[in-house]
Amino acid sequence: MTLTTADYDTIVVGGGPSGATAAHDLARQGHNVLLLERGFRIKPCGGAIPPCLLEEFDIPEHLLKARIRSARMVSPRGDSVDMPIDGTFVGMVDRDEFDPWLRDRADRAGADVVAGVFKSLRYEGDLVAMTYQTKDDNPRTETVTARSVIGADGARSAVARATIPDAEKTPWVLAYHEIIEVPADQNWDAYDPDRCDVWYQGRLSPDFYAWVFPHGQNASIGVGSAHKDFSAKASVAALREDVGLTEATTKRKEGAPIPMKPMKRWDDGRAVLVSGDAAGVVAPASGEGIYYAMLCGRLAADAMHAFLETGDVAVLKQARKRFMKLHGKVFWALGLLQRFWYGTDKRREKFVAMCRDPDVQTLTWQSYTTKKLVRRRPFAHIRVFFKDVAQLLGLARA
């Protein structure tokens, strides 16, 4: 069933990992797709991806800037706990290269990739009319029609707010980072190009964490917080001083809201579906988003393909249903972790102490790198549970 009066089968608003993945998948399935990206802005992001992402989404390894072999957790007192990654790695990408590659792939698959800013949408019968402003030498307002729309336009999605009730109520944190060049004479005790450092200190973030993530010759130094009066720039400046990178050349500074909870509804019941940050699929506690955004984009594309083939609006709900079946339990558990352990420096101290435990380290890395709950070691899960309870009750020393 194809309506010749529509300019496109689907308009995807937002060309980040989620939107570019959705546009690519739909174009490969033979649909006429417009991918609208608002000026190719780079989102603040540590850039961590699990190795399973490379295979699942056919990502070439040349996009990896580093292969992280360990993580260092730093407590409020300055104590550090190293968590080695045995037998695998965490990949690091730089969004100024990774995102354009994904958009180029969508373009090669047949999607029309256009630089423009979403303005509004309205229904005209069974079609959606979307208005946007072009971003070129001669800016102008354009209106195109489509049978469907995927909103992948970030945490405070204009598409979601225009079509889905209560979309503006999705909780978020402000993320800010600076990409710097790592000097050749850097103090390697404070900075290791094969290690991610995560700082759990209230002075750097009252409710989240700060980070130093290597990107090859560059590094991302950033922080997140939901506190409105929090100065992210001052926090990053303090962290740069802590690790001896104050004088390093700054290449980029980026800030944006990051959602902390999946929306309860992802579609408007007619022809609009949201994906990625717009759907709230950034993992609580860790802030990990790239893998979940791309998976969400793929599930959104699958649901939209079924809608375009059948006209049945009920299939749009399958995107959220499938995602939550795969990762809902993990998001719930991470949400509890963040709300409790990140609340005070005393609790952060205990949380970092827990990271010394070999069972915690093994289960953490196996779950992260494969994106599957580890079920093969039930006794390890039980041991971690009772150790966690001991920390909660103050029966274990930090």
Q: How far apart are CA 392 and CA 330, in angstroms?
A: 20
Nearest to 100 by CA among 133, 63, 126: 63
| Tokens at 27, concatenated | 């174009």
Name the band, by pLDDT with cuts 50, 70 and 90, for residue 364.
confident
Helix/strand/coil for 178: strand
| pLDDT given for residue 187 in this prediction | 65
Q: How far apart are CA 191 and CA 214, in angstroms?
A: 9
Query: Taking all residues of the chain, what is their mean pLDDT, rounded to a whole number?
Result: 89
- In the predicted structure, residue 385 carries a pLDDT above the cut 50: no
| pLDDT given for residue 373 in this prediction | 55
Per DSSP (E only), the strands in 22-77 are 33-37, 48-49, 66-68, 70-74
Buried b (16+ CB within 10 A) or exposed e, 105-115: bbbeebbbbbe
Buried b (16+ CB within 10 A) or exposed e, 196-231: bbbbbbeebbbebbbbbbbbeebbbbbbbbbeeebe
Q: How far apart are CA 70 and CA 198, in angstroms?
A: 11
Specify the pairing of strand 8-13 against strand 141-151. Answer: parallel
16 close to 277: Cβ distance less than 8 angstroms: yes
Summarize pLDDT for 101-132 with one digit per residue, the tens.
999 999 999 999 999 999 999 999 999 999 99
Summarize pLDDT for 296-342 with one digit per residue, the tens.
999 999 999 999 999 999 999 999 999 999 999 889 888 888 888 89
Per DSSP (E only), the strands in the chain are 8-13, 33-37, 48-49, 66-68, 70-74, 80-84, 90-92, 112-124, 127-134, 141-151, 172-181, 195-199, 210-215, 218-225, 250-259, 272-274
**Lowest mean pLDDT: which of 229-243, 277-291, 381-395?**
381-395
Q: How far apart are CA 216 and CA 210, in angstroms?
A: 19
Q: How far apart are CA 173 and CA 341, in angstroms?
A: 17
What are the strands of the beta sheet with 90-92, ordered from one edge?
A: 48-49, 90-92, 66-68
Domains with residue ranges and CATH for the chain: 8-44+95-170+260-331 (3.50.50.60), 341-392 (no CATH)
Summarize pLDDT for 164-199 with one digit per residue, the tens.
999 988 888 889 999 999 888 766 667 888 999 999
Specify the pairing of strand 33-37 against strand 112-124. Answer: parallel
Model-level pTM? 0.91
| pLDDT given for residue 51 in this prediction | 94
Name the band, by pLDDT with cuts 50, 70 and 90, for residue 384.
very low
Instruction: Work out the average pLDDT over 284-293.
Output: 91
| Tokens at 286, concatenated | 């860790």
Name the band, by pLDDT with cuts 50, 70 and 90, for residue 40.
low
Name the band, by pLDDT with cuts 50, 70 and 90, for residue 389.
very low
Summarize pLDDT for 197-213 with one digit per residue, the tens.
999 999 999 999 999 99
Summarize pLDDT for 10-23 with one digit per residue, the tens.
999 999 999 999 99
Instruction: Work out the average pLDDT over 342-367.
Output: 89
Q: What is the DSSP string of 91-146?
A: EE--HHHHHHHHHHHHHHHT-EEEEEEEEEEEEETTEEEEEEEE-SSS--EEEEEE
| Tokens at 360, concatenated | 């915690």
Q: What is the DSSP letter of 375?
A: -
Q: How far apart are CA 215 and CA 68, in angstroms?
A: 10
Specify the pairing of strand 70-74 against strand 66-68. Answer: unpaired
